[in-house]
């Protein structure tokens, strides 16, 4: 694999915006995001600048990108740090210190090339390396109808926890929680 996986830089907000919009236009990936293309498109530049700067800083979250040999971003994943003593994360207050992977997207022409595996390795390694109380697990949610994503996550080592949440905006669909526990 000739991709470089790295953290996003603050000045790359336009590229971060572009890949998010691409994800929201993708008919397969769009069920995984909690906003529409139109909502994201309407956000002002300052939103994208602040979001990307926060993800580059890497204190409470970090965004990783896989850069193809031609310099184009082939994929991305973001990591949110959820502390048991902190604010509610996705769903509820965290019971343990954990990381939450969100915003997973690989462009269709790069799928099946190992990009998602490389992104997840980097994201999970970063989560385990954080200072402070060690994170006990890394979790993610996958839409119950997203069999391709679920298969990728299982292959990487994520296992279902049995926890589910109703899909925001469609309470008839479920989000399934998967996790990797910190190695002992």
Provide the whole-model pTM. Answer: 0.92
**Mean pLDDT, rounded, for 92-106:** 89
Strands 61-67 and 170-181: unpaired
* pLDDT over threshold 90, residue 132: no
DSSP state of 34: S
Decide: 167 and 128 in contact? Cβ < 8 Å.
no
Say if residues 175 and 164 touch (Cβ distance below 8 Å): yes
pLDDT surpasses 80 at 85? no
Range list of H helices, the chain: 13-25, 37-42, 45-57, 115-129, 147-156
pLDDT, position 184: 82
């Amino acid at each position: 694999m000739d991709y470089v996986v790295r953290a996003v830089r603050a000045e790359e907000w336009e590229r971060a915006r572009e890949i998010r919009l691409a994800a929201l236009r993708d008919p397969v990936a769009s069920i995984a995001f909690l906003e529409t293309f139109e909502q994201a498109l309407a956000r002002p530049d300052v939103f994208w600048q602040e979001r990307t700067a926060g993800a580059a800083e890497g204190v409470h979250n970090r965004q990783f990108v896989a850069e193809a040999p031609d310099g184009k971003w082939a994929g991305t994943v973001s990591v949110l740090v959820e502390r048991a003593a902190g604010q509610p994360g996705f769903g509820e207050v965290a019971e343990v210190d954990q990381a939450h992977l969100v915003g997973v997207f690989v462009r269709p022409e790069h799928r099946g090339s190992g990009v998602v595996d490389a992104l997840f390795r980097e994201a999970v390694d970063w989560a385990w390396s954080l200072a402070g109380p060690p994170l006990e697990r890394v979790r993610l949610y996958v839409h119950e109808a997203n069999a391709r994503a679920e298969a990728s996550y299982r292959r990487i080592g994520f296992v279902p926890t049995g926890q589910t949440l109703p899909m925001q905006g469609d309470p008839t669909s479920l989000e399934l929680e998967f996790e990797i526990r910190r190695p002992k």
